[in-house]
C-alpha cells in the first residue's frame, strides 16, 4: 500500500472518531441493496452492533437485521457475515458486540468455497 494512502486512511479514522461516526462498508449483495460501497453512521459514544444494524435499517429503509438473523432469530451464517475491525462477528451474539466511533464494520455475504 502506498504510504500516502495509508496516512489518508489513518486520517480518515481520526475524523470519524472526532465526529462520533462509524464507517460501514458493503460487499456483494449489500452493495446492490445499499447502492453504495459504504456509508457513515453516527453512533455518539458507543452502541451495540445490533443497534447499529437498526440505525442502518432506518437509513436504508429496509430491515438489515433480517439478512443476518432468520425469522426466529437463528443466525444465517451460510448467507451473511459481519466483520468488525477485521474480525468476523459471531452472529449469535449481535447485541453483545460494542461499536465505537472510528470502528470499521463490513457487511458481507458469507464465504463461499469448497466445490
Which of these segments, 20-28, 39-47, 49-57, binds other proteins (CB under 8 A)?
20-28
Q: Which residue among 50, 76, 98, 100 contacts other proteins (CB under 8 A)?
A: 76
CA distance 3 to 75: 39
CA distance 102 to 43: 10
Q: Between 60 and 84, name the residue whose CB sits nearer to other proteins.
A: 84
Q: Between 18 and 96, name the residue whose CB sits nearer to other proteins.
A: 96
Q: Between 7 and 58, name the residue whose CB sits nearer to other proteins.
A: 7
- Long-range residue pairs from 59-65, CB within 8 A, at least 24 positions apart, any chain: 60/33, 60/34, 62/33, 64/107, 65/94
Q: Does 77 bind other proteins (CB under 8 A)?
A: yes
Amino acid at each position: 500500500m502506498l504510504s500516502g494512502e495509508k496516512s489518508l486512511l489513518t486520517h480518515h479514522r481520526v475524523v470519524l472518531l472526532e465526529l462520533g461516526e462509524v464507517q460501514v462498508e458493503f460487499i456483494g449483495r449489500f452493495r446492490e441493496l445499499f447502492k453504495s460501497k459504504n456509508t457513515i453512521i453516527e453512533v455518539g459514544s458507543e452502541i451495540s452492533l445490533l443497534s447499529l444494524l437498526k440505525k442502518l435499517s432506518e437509513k436504508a429503509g429496509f430491515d438489515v437485521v433480517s439478512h443476518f438473523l432468520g425469522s426466529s432469530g437463528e443466525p444465517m451464517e451460510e448467507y451473511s457475515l459481519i466483520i468488525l475491525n477485521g474480525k468476523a462477528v459471531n452472529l449469535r451474539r449481535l447485541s453483545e458486540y460494542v461499536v465505537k466511533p472510528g470502528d470499521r464494520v463490513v457487511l458481507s455475504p458469507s464465504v463461499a468455497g469448497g466445490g
